[in-house]
Structure 1
Amino acid sequence: MARDLSGIVLIGADSLIGELGGDLTALKTEACLPPASFDDPDAMISAEAALCFFELAAERLDCPDFGLRLAQRQDLAVLGPLYLMMLTTATVGDALHLLAQYLRLHSSSLVVGFTRNREGALIDYAISFSHEHDDRQVIELGLALVTGFVRSRAGPDWYPLYAQFRYGAPTSATLHRRAFGTEILFGQERNAVCVDSATLRMPMQSPGAAAHKLAVQMIRRRDAFDGGALSPRVEAAVRARLAYGQTCSAETIAGALGYSVRSLQRGLAEAGSSFEAMRDAVRADLARKYLVQSHVSLAEIADMLGYAQPSALTRAFRRWYGVSPLRYRRDARP
């Protein structure tokens, strides 16, 4: 299944690469991005190629904070009607919840989660499909843009309560602290920022009822047009729930997407898949990433992925990869 990403993710990358002394044409060629990728930000591009492009840019330019630097040249206004609709919500929390609900209409390969907790809400950011690329540049770009949006409402001195990332700490975290503050955790189970309750309750400055009505109509028309793309939506929903250790059954996913269980299963069958197969594939991908990119224990991974015991995860992991989880973790790390 083709995975697409909106070309808006590339805005500003050409000038940044030029300033860093890089060869944009060579990077596009190596990543298999079409030559005209930067000409139309509204065009859809291959998500695999985009992930490869960001990974190569950071590596070839010796710029491990490439995504954070790019975030300084972008903002969420590039989301067009979705951004306008966010501005017309009552509170910052409502705007973030809306972003989590509708970002898929811009890029089915990205998923934003909005989960309430005791401190406020966790806003997490993830790639919605299995891949082999180092995705930290895209993840940091996305979370920095979300943080920047909140800061534009809460004031220039606002920072999330904390930010957390799956991968290990970089050699230098200067730009991370500039973007997210001093409370940054690495080697965690997810990529997320925590927004405090007081900030979530802050009112948005609404452009007015007419603008809100127009934005809602545009988003709903696009949502209706996108309705046939069921498999990516199910995969993204499964990935989001498993990332938080939430119950992930056909019933919960169908309810979250507005389907009956029968309609969900029928739609997936027509696409040549099933809910069980899709959940199994997402579990396999997340288990591998948790083992390699974080220091989370096997028992914690099993619990997050919905297994009653670590032994059940071990059996599943052997079926997926032919080795035990601990052996895989040991062999994958330098």
Structure 2
Amino acid sequence: MTSGAQIPRHLRRPQRRGACVPQPELRTSSADWLEGVLGMFEAEGLDVPALLRDAGFDPESLHQQNARFPVDEITMLWQLAVSRVGKPTLGLNRELASTYSKLGTVGHAMACAPDLKTSLGSLTRYMAVISDATTFSMNDDPRGSWMSLEHSGGSLPIPRQRVEYALLTLFTFARWAARRDLQPLMVEFVYPAPADDRPHREAFGCDIRFNCSANRLLLSTVDMTMHLPTHHPALAEMHQHLLEDQLTQLGQTTTSSLVCAEIARRLQQGEPRRQDVAAGLGIAERTLQRRLQEESVSFQSLLDRTRRELAQQYLAEQRHTLTDVADLLGFVDTSNFFRACKRWFGLPPAQYRARIWQGSGPAGRMLPAGALLN
């Protein structure tokens, strides 16, 4: 293991405690999931107490009931871990992903499902309990089903190791739930190919494609439709009630949150109309408008909020050109995107991106030293 440099004092964040209730529009991950990640870090040879200290975490906050942590703070830990361990494939190990992942109540509910497709499909609704900074989706394919992961809500670049570990965790859970040695048909990542992709092929057991449009994994129809030996309808209903309560506490059952998710899903096809979003949610446009009025929010403000949040993430990823980002956000031309960026961040998109990668974030917030060491 290589020793990483200490974070200079002026780059450190103050110690903080996990918040039981996330702030508005603040994307967070659960302490349970983070504890599992830290266990994996320790198994990989990292000094976890030093990692937490240098990233400004109070270790006691991990043990507070319902504690959650902002997406950028989780990203910071990953950045520091990667820079210190000196291993570009940190966490890319099937045994580690199986041993240290903590899906909590979500995992219990998934295990009670009748088949693997239903089990994994429940993540589209309950992923927010684990992390509302991560979106999980499933798409049918003639060969089976794609499972896709996307991160949003942060201003720091998401390390590829974090995404690879998360996707590997979902795959190892599927193997455990099915009690079979599943083999993906294909795995795709948005990142460039590494010099040696053997660790990726060994971890997932199949060919890997890089420089793709999404981070996703394809399982066959036969695998997805197999009966799960742990199927238990009564327990499934009990866990679902618990998860619905947690979603409510996180503000994930409001009409506003559902609209934002539907907007995000549609943006790449252009700016979504209110009537299209209402149809996607299965309600009348008038009903949608009334519910948003009850929450004192407008459709246009939710569209703007969603675009701003996604813009932060897309601009942190150098693989996207500015034109790409404008297209992904559903703008008809780049000039509208440029004006929106100046309104959101006080800077045009190129300057905002440069500020991220030069070491200081928006509003004077500094990036961790780990980002500068990579």
One of 100, 121, 132 as aligned partner of 1:74: 100
Aligned to 2:225: 201
Report how far residue 188 of structure 1 moved: 1.7
Report the more deviating stretch, 43-52 or 132-141.
132-141
TM-score, normalised via structure 1 length: 0.78
Q: Distance in 2 between matches of 1:236 and 1:179?
A: 31
Q: Could you list the per-position Cα deviations for residues 251-301 of structure 1 after superposition, in whole angstroms to 9, with x for gaps in the alignment?
A: 4444555764214543664499812312432453465356x236x9957x7
Rounded to whole Å, the distance in 2 between the matches of 1:154 and 1:246 is 39
Paired with 2:40 and 2:173, the residues of 1 have a C-alpha distance of: 21
Q: CA 1:61/1:40 → structure 2, altered by over 3 Å: closer, same or farther? A: farther
- In the superposition, the TM-score normalised over structure 2's length comes to 0.71
Q: In structure 2, the residue corresponding to 1:112 is in which secondary structure?
A: strand
Aligned residue-pair number? 320
Shift of 1:157: 3.9
Summarize deviations over 1:300-320 as a string: whole Å, max 9, x none. x76654456xxx2x3234333
User: What secondary structure is seen at the aligned counterpart in 2 of 1:36?
Assistant: helix
- Which structure is richer in relative contact order (CA contacts within 8 A, separation 6 or more)? 2
Q: CA deviation at 1:189?
A: 1.9
* Counterpart selection for 2:157 from 126, 129, 133: 133
Choose the corresponding residue for 2:33, options 2, 6, 9.
Answer: 9
Matches within 5 A, 1:169-318: 169-227=193-251, 230=254, 234-242=259-267, 245=269, 248-254=272-278, 256=280, 260-263=287-290, 265-266=292-293, 269-270=296-297, 274-282=301-309, 284-285=311-312, 287-288=314-315, 292-293=318-319, 305-306=329-330, 312=333, 314-318=334-338
- Counterpart contact for 1:68–1:144, Cα < 8 Å: yes
| CA–CA separation in structure 2 for the residues paired with 1:61 and 1:149 | 26
Residue pair 1:128, 1:236 contacting (<8 A) in 2 also: no
Identity of aligned residues (%): 22
**Residue identity opposite 1:293 in structure 2:** R
**How far is the alpha carbon of 1:29 from its aligned partner?**
2.7
Q: CA–CA distance in 1 between the matches of 2:244 and 2:253?
A: 15
Provide the rounded CA distance (Å) in 2 between the counterparts of 1:233 and 1:6: 20
Secondary structure of 2:191's match? coil
Is residue 152–residue 313 contact of structure 2 (8 Å, CA) maintained in 1?
no
Amino acid at match of 1:195: L
